[in-house]
Amino acid sequence: MLEPVFAPKTGELKNQLSVDELIRWIITYQNFTGVTDKTKVVTTEKFSNPAGWLYRLGPVYAQGQTIFETLMLNLVLVGDKLDVTAVQRPVWEFSTVQDYVTERKKQAKPTNLAELYTAWSRILHIEWVDQQPNIFSAGIPMFASEDTLIEPMTTWRWDKKEKQFRPAVKGLRSLGISMWRNFGQYVKVNDEKTERQPGLVDWLQRLKHQENTVIADDQPLTLASVALVSDGNATSQSPAAEVADDLQMQADVLFDPEIEDHWPVRIEDAVEVTQNVGTDFYHFAADIAQIRDIDSRDFAGKWSAQFYASLDAPFKDWLAQLTGHDNREVKINDWKLQLQSLLRQAVQAVLETSSPRDITGIKDSKDRPFNIFTAQSRLNYNVHRHLNLTKKA
């Protein structure tokens, strides 16, 4: 009988582990450790117990049609920050645990992926009692994630103050923001030095542009992300949510060789238009809340989240059916028309909750009538300006 990889356990059984379950637990724990524990190794300088390495990333990976294809697509062999001559040194190749701890006390960033991906967040001591493991842990110093650019499977954001790249870690406030809304984090759309696409995407682009390419123009490429999200508490960083998302494009769209009409640039423009319309709808909902004399942030936030949820599947479908041969203007206009239709549905849903007070309205700061009709008129003006549908495709 097949058992789940991570089977939930409660009561007396929660402390019983088979060896294979224990190994999976250790790997997961080392990568997603919180910071509730206080035991540390002794060092001359103080340090805070670190979170696990994967816990500190904004993960992205390529999802293939099979496990083999997935593994091959993510086998990043070269990159602008990867030293191909570096000796791969996983943790088990250190002579002793003490040697490894000594190296980690230096907090030097790994120069090879094997060392990076087997990095411990804790030293574990396991004692077997009645054929069950008793586990003791101690924190060890961790190297900084900032500018650790040999990591190919994370998105990055530029820290203007510190002038360095940080992993774009998802937080509780950004749980509802889908990958497509941060398209520019996954695919570089301009030559700004403060923008950086994941090393994995560089690798896929290199494969695509090889003379004997293994990635056909019309091959669908799926970029996916799975992450545990911290509770945001600096003293615990306990997992509060798990998120998974993806976006799919044909290879010649993701890595469009066109210079003047580069698909990624046009897609980023479409995302910007969409988010402008989303902001317009948020302000419309906030106006309705003001008319009703209720909390505008909660009311507008709820309706805005529902609106963006209604956009997720249509936008991802639109993205997936694009090809390198498409007329850019026609396709972008198609999305704008669909966006306009989805907005009308969202506005209608708000209108269906209206009351006599919404129609009567209130006076604005300039003593002018302010009701659901003037709020909708303001919305229509802003959306018309942002969609710019007057141009012929």
DSSP symbols for 58-99: -B-EEE-SSHHHHHHHT-----TT--TTSPP--GGGSSSHHH
Question: Does residue 95 register a pLDDT over 80?
Answer: yes
Q: What is the pLDDT of residues 238-274, one digit of tens each?
A: 889 999 999 999 999 999 877 667 999 999 999 999 9
127 DSSP β-pair partners? 134
Rounded to an integer, the average pLDDT of 75-100 is: 92
Strands (E), 260-365: 362-363
Cβ-count burial 212-247 (b if 16+ within 10 Å, e if not): eeebeeebebbbbbebbbbeeeeeebeeeeebebbb
Question: Does residue 10 register a pLDDT over 80?
Answer: no
Q: What is the pLDDT of residues 267-325, one digit of tens each?
A: 999 999 999 999 999 999 999 999 999 999 999 999 999 999 999 999 999 999 999 99
Cβ–Cβ < 8 Å for 247, 222: yes
Per-residue pLDDT, 393: 42
For the chain, give the mean pLDDT: 91
Per-residue pLDDT, 6: 53
116 DSSP β-pair partners? none
Per-residue pLDDT, 259: 63
Total Cβ atoms within 10 A of residue 107:
15
Structure tokens at 176: 């509802």
Rounded to an integer, the average pLDDT of 214-232 is: 92
Rounded to an integer, the average pLDDT of 37-57 is: 92
Per-residue pLDDT, 186: 95
Strands (E), 231-387: 239-250, 362-363, 369-370
Per-residue pLDDT, 94: 96
Question: Does residue 390 register a pLDDT over 80?
Answer: no
Per-residue pLDDT, 2: 44
